[in-house]
């Protein structure tokens, strides 16, 4: 199917979708967004671009940034990384703490909060100026100098981030955090505060669909094997306690954020970003999940 | 790469692999197998066949049979199935019971023991003669009248199957088991006792690589969407607490059994079965995992 | 304070107590009882008796019987008993299964269901005719030939007792159950079906207040040390997840049953039984807890 | 039995006791103590004193101080206290985090670390100068101006106290901590650093054996009911995951600390402190438990 025709169908489908769920509102900066925003942007590996709705509007990408921090950590620290964090799905959220305890401070995977904090700890150890170096990496890969942190949001999250402080202290008690806790937390909250549009996201993540080298910027981020491995982690761990559901219904590797964004990758074909702020009960974008399910059902094309 | 050349490389690689791990020995019937057995068989969607080692020797496929029982249940009971069993990975084995309790008797997925028992309960409800009907289905799909239960093994497993009895009683206490517990357990142990060779397995499972219709027997088991969905469940839940590791290193949907067998699917390309009885610490075939990792690394070809 | 005066005050207090909570109704036999029943009976170690309300009416003592089965098991099997069951409180009910798994089939204490099943297994091993021998023991100790099982109730409980079947199967999978599961379950459900009045209960349990020898029947059940030890277990484990609350507010060793009965012991002074069928959220008699709290507050006399 | 004769027997028994277990060594200040130290001191409610061994030597009382902080909090904040902390035993240590999560930041009891931190938070809210006011309270009650914090030890504990930081952050995420986390942690570590001898401890805690008013200083700390309630909490929660064992074998309310000290109370009779630095596997003084068991067995006198 031609993507152009597909996007016409997507546009119709969007109109029919109920906008259920709730906006994440644990901090006011996230809660103030217009709940009716809805954007989609798809970029093919040969750099054809298809957008829809609010696809040029920036939003808080939140946990989606954790895929990029993992990519950078995997690029620079391939050897010890997987001794300090696993690659297994995490089961229900209710036992996140007990799993971390049971497994002696080794987080199950790099996308749960504990794991993303661990990746931040690695980057704080390995980068001179973690915050600047990370955003520079993100900009260079995507060829987009407009990628920015939102310091005000980062500040707000830090003020209420007691659960993350609990997780990092627990890991520190097992010796699995090497740096000062506040330094790592600051970096983590900065990371999650990045704002991008669907178009920017889709274009930035294109190298995951292209064996690790960005087709446009030509930046070689990861080799084939590492790229496949991060895709695999996205597939198994990218949607909190709904990873199975996403694999079952959509069938693409991806990652969601509580800002209502989702990035998904069809290896060899395209990357796609969607944004709709209202979240379902598992914390993933309600309409985002629905429209991606429609897309892969309609095209009869998923990785499975 | 041509599969013929690939199999020459696989043959060399097999010689180099250490044969670590331990045979499952909780019942003597499983423990008596020769630990040095090693077979591989790959069948392409256009029915080219490549075998190696002990690929024609029958072994106990154990939990691999659970993929076929799920396929049959999904074929005949598509509506209510997913209200009674989830599609999410299960996290660490240590909390299997608590998850089942926490989720009020709804197993996390159809491949953990609780979920497979649940699928058996559905089949016992829907089939006239569950044991006969199931093996007939298996034979018809694969075009292989030689598929048989091993009643002696089933009997042995039943005698020591107290943990499975605990699981099914717990589900029954939540009303999620409809039939007599002993009837369901009997069917479950029969299911797990099936014996097949790598060649037979690979050929029988070929329809999962071919959108649900078997390329040789032409039996249409499932539609495209359902086939993709079972593949997705295999990817996320097929290897106990090592599903992430298998996705990370091999990158194919698959299912393992404690008899040392593994089936893996490359959608659109092939199905492959391997057998080596010694298991790693997570309960999956030690050499089986290694050789499949070699295969997808060497071909630079996984679904990711 | 004289007990006579105390009972006058108790009588007034009873009138003021709200009758909150719910009757256990998971089986109809338990649910059919009149929710307004309320009885109290106190027996001093010098055999003075004080009764109130429906203290002569028989009700289903349920788990209270587990104190007597423990006493008998401790009498005849003092050596290995505590290798197979612990003496620690069990924490929240929600993790009963995981604790049993984590502790490899050793129940935390003899009063949670798993532990009581374990004690039944010991008695099945050691008694010729467990059901007859146990009730004979109970009758002889108390000098009361009228203690009887209720076979109809036992039968009903067995039909819905899947959670108990799950627990015993899990213990059996760890090798901590020696006898046939159905035999032990049958005995367990019989045990819980015993019917007695407050007066009968209070008199039967008097030896726990008298260093182990019954002051009236003169039967020596346990020595001082063993008696104190069972009292200690009652104090720490006798009220499900409300043992702390009972110690905090009442301050006596005791045991409750879902039939709405409670037995409590003041070592050296008296035993007391209360009965009011409606249960609070933790499964203990609502008015029973209240009136015992009133009693020990009013007398300023608890073991603490 | 006369206490004098009893202490002669205790002295003989002490010589026979093996000195098994290990000193707590997670911080060097605790690990440097002589492992052969052994002291006992008993004070009767009529102020007769009996000492043995190193009963005049100061050691780190650690968690024993939590009984005094609870007493002070219960004295000044009787109303809301029990909405914010429970009175139930905590089950196995392995699930301390999950219980705190499951119960939404309400610690099970005031003696587990989370609960003691919660009590510190209450005192930080209610006292002008928490550290000074608390030690003044302790001194006044006991009539002992020599009770002091050990600032060096407090500092060391803070440096490695990541698990406590995890717990307090988790409670804060549920809104159950009102003050600045560092302020509460500082107070907590100070509290645990207090050093006292067996004699000082035994004399200071005497009011728990005397209905809440200290027989010597005449300070009225708590009324009868509150005193009994703290004794009950000591009985059910004072020995980590060995509370049942202590009730079973010793049969007195008490509290242990990782410094190897134990305080125990016989209401109406005496308070007793023991000290022997080596801890058993559950973290309680090995010889301390043994000698208290000997004492109550020999006197055939426990609260049960």
Residue B102 has pLDDT above 90, yes or no: no
Residue A95 has pLDDT above 60, yes or no: no
Instruction: Determine whether the interchain pair D87/C244 forms a contact, defined as Cβ–Cβ distance below 8 Å.
Output: yes
Instruction: Determine whether the interchain pair C232/D304 forms a contact, defined as Cβ–Cβ distance below 8 Å.
Output: yes
Count of CB atoms situated within 10 Å of the CB of B280:
17
Contacts of D84 (CB under 8 A, 6+ apart): D106, D118, D122, D176
Instruction: Work out the average pLDDT over B235-248.
Output: 93
Is B224 contained in some domain?
A: yes
Is D52 contained in some domain?
A: yes
Which chain B residues are closer than 8 Å to C167 by Cβ? 166
Q: Number of C-alpha atoms within 13 angstroms, CB side, residue A124?
A: 20
DSSP state for residue A47 in the 8-state scheme: -
Residue D144 CA to chain centroid, in angstroms? 18
Is D304 contained in some domain?
A: no
Taking the C-alpha atoms of residue C115 and residue B21, their distance in angstroms, rounded to an integer, is 36
**DSSP codes of every residue in C48-117:** -EEEEESTTS-EE-GGGHHHHHHHHHHHH-TTTHHHHS--S----GGGHHHHHHHTTT--S-TTSHHHHH
pLDDT at B98: 73
Nearest Cα of chain B lies from the Cα of A78 at a distance, in angstroms, of: 14
Instruction: Determine whether the interchain pair D173/A167 forms a contact, defined as Cβ–Cβ distance below 8 Å.
Output: no
Residue B86 has pLDDT above 60, yes or no: yes
Mutate to test the interface with A, among B93, B99, B107, B248 (most CBs of A within 10 A): B248
Q: How confident is the model at residue D53 (pLDDT cuts 50, 70, 90)?
A: very high
Instruction: Determine which of B96-105, B287-296, D163-172 has the lowest per-residue pLDDT on average.
Output: B96-105
Instruction: Determine whether the interchain pair D169/A165 forms a contact, defined as Cβ–Cβ distance below 8 Å.
Output: yes
Instruction: Determine which of B90-94, B251-255, C71-75, D127-131 has the lowest per-residue pLDDT on average.
Output: B90-94
pLDDT at D102: 77
pLDDT at D4: 92
Q: Which residues pair with D272 in a beta bridge?
A: D42, D264
Please write the tens of the pLDDT for every residue from A147-180.
999 999 999 999 889 999 999 999 999 999 999 9
pLDDT at D101: 81
Which chain D residues are closer than 8 Å to A100 by Cβ? 97
Is D66 contained in some domain?
A: yes
Q: Which chains touch D (3 or more CB pairs under 8 A)?
A: A, C
Taking the C-alpha atoms of residue A304 and residue B267, their distance in angstroms, rounded to an integer, is 6
Q: How confident is the model at residue D240 (pLDDT cuts 50, 70, 90)?
A: confident
Is B304 contained in some domain?
A: no
Which chain B residues are closer than 8 Å to A90 by Cβ? 91
User: Of A195, A203, A200, A186, nearest to A260 (Cα)?
Assistant: A195
Query: At B256, phi and psi to the nearest 5?
Result: -110, 165
pLDDT at B93: 60
Taking the C-alpha atoms of residue C162 and residue B173, their distance in angstroms, rounded to an integer, is 5
Contacts of A12 (CB under 8 A, 6+ apart): none
Q: Which chains touch A (3 or more CB pairs under 8 A)?
A: B, D
Taking the C-alpha atoms of residue B271 and residue C268, their distance in angstroms, rounded to an integer, is 76
Tokens at residue C64, please? 């209270």
Residue A111 has pLDDT above 90, yes or no: yes
Please write the tens of the pLDDT for every residue from B126-149.
999 999 999 999 999 999 999 999
Residue of D nearest to A173 (CA): D162
Q: In what order do the strands lie in the sheet with B39-44?
A: B49-53, B39-44, B270-275, B261-266, B254-256
> What is residue D256's three-state secondary structure?
strand
Instruction: Work out the average pLDDT over A102-123.
Output: 94
Max Cα separation, chain B?
55
pLDDT at B160: 87
Residue B1 has pLDDT above 70, yes or no: no
Is C303 contained in some domain?
A: no
Any CB–CB contact under 8 A between D27 and chain A? no
Q: Number of C-alpha atoms within 13 angstroms, CB side, residue D263?
A: 32
Mutate to test the interface with B, among C26, C91, C93, C97 (most CBs of B within 10 A): C97
Please write the tens of the pLDDT for every residue from C202-252.
999 999 999 999 999 999 999 999 999 999 999 999 998 899 999 999 999
> What is residue B22's three-state secondary structure?
strand
Buried b (16+ CB within 10 A) or exposed e, C125-164: eebeebbeebbebbbebbebeebebbeebbebbbeebbbb
Counted domains in chain C: 1
Any CB–CB contact under 8 A between B107 and chain A? no
User: Of A268, A199, A10, A263, nearest to A1 (Cα)?
Assistant: A10
Instruction: Work out the average pLDDT over A8-35.
Output: 90
Taking the C-alpha atoms of residue A83 and residue D198, their distance in angstroms, rounded to an integer, is 47
Taking the C-alpha atoms of residue D173 and residue D106, their distance in angstroms, rounded to an integer, is 11
Instruction: Work out the average pLDDT over A69-80.
Output: 91
Instruction: Determine which of C267-281, D99-113, D166-180 has the lowest per-residue pLDDT on average.
Output: D99-113
Q: Which residues pair with D59 in a beta bridge?
A: D196
Which structural domain, as residue segments, surrounds residue A251?
3-297
Average pLDDT, chain B: 94
Which chain C residues are closer than 8 Å to B97 by Cβ? 97-98, 100-101, 170
DSSP H or E stretch at residue D271:
strand D270-275
Nearest Cα of chain D lies from the Cα of A114 at a distance, in angstroms, of: 12
Calculate the alpha carbon distances from B237 to A236, B256, C129 in Å. 9, 10, 48
Whichever domain contains A8, its CATH number is 3.40.710.10
Instruction: Work out the average pLDDT over D257-262.
Output: 97
Residue A90 has pLDDT above 90, yes or no: no
**Which residue in D101, D166, D170 is closest to A173 by CB distance?**
D166
Residue B286 has pLDDT above 60, yes or no: yes
Max Cα separation, chain A?
55
pLDDT at D92: 63
Residue of A nearest to D177 (CA): A162
Any CB–CB contact under 8 A between B267 and chain A? yes
Asked if D13 and D294 count as a contact pair (C-beta separation under 8 A), the reply is yes
Asked if D133 and D260 count as a contact pair (C-beta separation under 8 A), the reply is no
Which chain C residues are closer than 8 Å to B178 by Cβ? none
Is D303 contained in some domain?
A: no
Note which residues in 109-168 of chain D have CB less than 8 A from chain A.
160, 162-163, 165-167
Asked if B195 and C198 count as a contact pair (C-beta separation under 8 A), the reply is no
Tokens at residue B200, please? 């037979």
Residue A68 has pLDDT above 80, yes or no: yes
The burial of B95, by beta-carbon neighbours within 10 Å (0-12 exposed, 13-18 middle, 19 or more buried), is given as buried
Which chain B residues are closer than 8 Å to A237 by Cβ? 244
pLDDT at C175: 95
Could you give the ipTM of this predicted complex?
Answer: 0.94
Instruction: Determine which of C32-41, C289-298, D26-35 has the lowest per-residue pLDDT on average.
Output: D26-35
Query: At A24, phi and psi to the nearest 5?
Result: -65, 130
Nearest Cα of chain C lies from the Cα of B191 at a distance, in angstroms, of: 21
pLDDT at A63: 96
Instruction: Determine which of A84-98, B199-213, B243-257, B270-284 has the lowest per-residue pLDDT on average.
Output: A84-98
Q: How confident is the model at residue A30 (pLDDT cuts 50, 70, 90)?
A: confident
Which chain A residues are closer than 8 Å to D94 by Cβ? 101-102
Which chain D residues are closer than 8 Å to A92 by Cβ? none
The burial of D203, by beta-carbon neighbours within 10 Å (0-12 exposed, 13-18 middle, 19 or more buried), is given as buried
**Which residue in C95, C162, C172 is closest to B162 by CB distance?**
C172
Note which residues in 222-261 of chain A have CB less than 8 A from chain D.
none
Which chain D residues are closer than 8 Å to C93 by Cβ? none
**Is the C-alpha dihedral spanning A226, A228, A234, A236 positive or negative?**
negative
Mutate to test the interface with B, among C117, C121, C166 (most CBs of B within 10 A): C166
Instruction: Determine whether the interchain pair C89/D236 forms a contact, defined as Cβ–Cβ distance below 8 Å.
Output: yes
Residue of B nearest to A230 (CA): B248
pLDDT at C90: 83
Nearest Cα of chain A lies from the Cα of B242 at a distance, in angstroms, of: 7
Taking the C-alpha atoms of residue D85 and residue D98, their distance in angstroms, rounded to an integer, is 16
Instruction: Work out the average pLDDT over A271-276.
Output: 98
Instruction: Determine whether the interchain pair A173/D167 forms a contact, defined as Cβ–Cβ distance below 8 Å.
Output: no
Residue of B nearest to A210 (CA): B304
Q: How confident is the model at residue A27 (pLDDT cuts 50, 70, 90)?
A: confident
Instruction: Determine which of B164-173, C139-148, D25-34, D128-137 has the lowest per-residue pLDDT on average.
Output: D25-34
Residue of B nearest to C172 (CA): B162
Please write the tens of the pLDDT for every residue from C85-116.
999 998 766 556 777 887 889 999 999 999 99
Residue of C nearest to D208 (CA): C304
Residue C258 has pLDDT above 90, yes or no: yes
Q: How many helices (H) and strands (E) does chain A have?
A: 14, 7
Residue A1 has pLDDT above 70, yes or no: no
pLDDT at D156: 92
Nearest Cα of chain C lies from the Cα of D95 at a distance, in angstroms, of: 9
Taking the C-alpha atoms of residue C246 and residue C235, their distance in angstroms, rounded to an integer, is 8
Taking the C-alpha atoms of residue B201 and residue B64, their distance in angstroms, rounded to an integer, is 9
Contacts of A172 (CB under 8 A, 6+ apart): A105, A181, D162, D165
> What is residue C250's three-state secondary structure?
coil
Residue B35 has pLDDT above 80, yes or no: yes
Taking the C-alpha atoms of residue B264 and residue B209, their distance in angstroms, rounded to an integer, is 9
Residue A303 has pLDDT above 60, yes or no: yes
Average pLDDT, chain C: 94
Nearest Cα of chain C lies from the Cα of D271 at a distance, in angstroms, of: 13
**Which residue in C102, C243, C248 is closest to D92 by CB distance?**
C102
Tokens at residue D4, please? 């004098």
pLDDT at D1: 61
Residue A94 has pLDDT above 70, yes or no: no
Note which residues in 169-198 of chain A have CB less than 8 A from chain B.
none
Instruction: Determine whether the interchain pair C228/D251 forms a contact, defined as Cβ–Cβ distance below 8 Å.
Output: yes
Tokens at residue A201, please? 């996201």
DSSP state for residue C209 in the 8-state scheme: G
Taking the C-alpha atoms of residue B109 and residue B106, their distance in angstroms, rounded to an integer, is 9
Tokens at residue B87, please? 């599609």
Residue of A nearest to B254 (CA): A304
> What is residue C299's three-state secondary structure?
coil
Q: Which residues pair with A148 in a beta bridge?
A: A195
Instruction: Determine which of B186-190, C244-248, D23-27, D65-69 has the lowest per-residue pLDDT on average.
Output: D23-27
Residue D95 has pLDDT above 80, yes or no: no
Query: At D261, phi and psi to the nearest 5?
Result: -90, 150
Helices (H), chain D: 3-16, 28-31, 65-76, 81-84, 96-102, 113-126, 130-142, 151-159, 162-173, 181-192, 198-204, 224-237, 243-249, 286-298
**Which residue in B95, B98, B170 is closest to C166 by CB distance?**
B170
**Which residue in A98, A162, A163 is closest to D98 by CB distance?**
A98
Asked if B253 and B238 count as a contact pair (C-beta separation under 8 A), the reply is yes
């Amino acid at each position: 199917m031609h993507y152009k025709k597909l996007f016409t169908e997507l546009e119709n489908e969007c109109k029919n979708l109920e906008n259920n769920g709730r906006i994440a509102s644990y901090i006011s900066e996230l809660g103030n967004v217009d709940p009716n925003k809805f954007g989609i942007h798809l970029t093919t590996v040969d750099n054809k671009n298809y957008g829809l709705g609010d696809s040029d509007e920036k939003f808080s990408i939140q946990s989606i940034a954790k895929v990029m921090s993992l990519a950078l950590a995997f690029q620079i620290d391939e050897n010890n990384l997987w001794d300090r964090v696993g690659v297994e799905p995490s089961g229900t959220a209710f036992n996140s703490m007990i799993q971390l305890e049971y497994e002696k401070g080794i987080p199950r995977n790099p996308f749960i909060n504990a794991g993303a904090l661990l990746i931040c700890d690695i980057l704080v150890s390995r980068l001179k100026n973690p915050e600047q170096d990370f955003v520079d990496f993100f900009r260079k890969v995507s060829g987009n100098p407009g990628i920015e942190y939102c310091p005000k949001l980062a500040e707000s999250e830090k003020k209420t981030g007691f659960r993350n402080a609990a997780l990092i202290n627990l890991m520190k008690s097992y010796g699995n955090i090497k740096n000062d806790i506040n330094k790592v937390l600051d970096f983590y909250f900065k990371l999650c505060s990045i704002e991008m549009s669907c178009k920017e996201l889709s274009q930035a993540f294109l190298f995951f669909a292209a064996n690790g080298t960005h087709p446009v910027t030509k930046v070689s981020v990861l080799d084939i094997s590492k790229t496949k491995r991060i895709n695999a982690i996205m597939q198994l761990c990218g949607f909190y306690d709904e990873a199975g559901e996403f694999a079952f219904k959509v069938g693409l590797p991806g990652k969601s954020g509580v800002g209502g964004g989702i990035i998904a990758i069809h290896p060899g074909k395209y990357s796609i970003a969607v944004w709709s702020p209202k979240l379902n009960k598992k914390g993933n974008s309600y309409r985002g999940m629905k429209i991606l399910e429609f897309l892969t059902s309609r095209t009869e094309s998923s990785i499975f």
